[in-house]
Amino acid sequence: MIRNFVLLASEAVEHSVFGFNSNILETNLINIVIVLGLLIYAGRGFLGKILSARLESIQSAIAEAEKRQKEANDKLALQQEKLAQAQVEAANLRKQAEADAQKAADSILATVDADIARLREAAEQEIVTEQERVIIQLRQQVAEKSLASVQAYFDRGLSESVQAELIDRSIALLSSD
């Protein structure tokens, strides 16, 4: 590259005399070629290093992003698994609670049925006791009324013929034994 530059410069010196070139297009073209040649020669290593460093940083950034994405996917899968386990556990707890509630309801109903049966039995017993008490009370009242009417009858007095007849009957009953 430098050889080419030196050759161009030496040819330019041989064919022309140093002076002012008024053709702008010619002078700009030569200047551009010279600048590009120098940039390519001198900047090749520098630009290569910069581009290679940039490529490496992009590749490492992509690798890091892929790594983070994989970690995020792993964490997501783990959390989804935990969620599924929690849902299964919640369903089991709900079923257990429903079963416990049903057992409690059955137990309460059985207790209520037993209480009702016990209350009916006590009520029936109370009715029987009350009936017996009423019957005894009625017998007492009947006996008292009978005695009162007999007492009233005796208080009015017995006629002599009735008294004699009673005495005769009593003697007949005593003598027949």
**CB contact set of 5 (below 8 Å; sequence gap of 6+):** 34, 37
pTM to 2 decimal places: 0.40
For residues 109 and 98, give the distance between their C-alpha atoms in angstroms, rounded to a whole number.
Answer: 16
Residue-by-residue pLDDT tens, the chain, 177 positions: 566 656 665 665 555 555 555 566 666 777 788 888 877 777 777 777 888 889 999 999 999 999 999 999 999 999 999 999 999 999 999 999 999 999 999 999 999 999 999 999 999 999 999 999 999 999 899 888 888 887 777 767 667 787 788 788 888 888 775
Secondary structure (DSSP) of 15-82: HS-SS----HHHHHHHHHHHHHHHHHHHHHHHHHHHHHHHHHHHHHHHHHHHHHHHHHHHHHHHHHHH
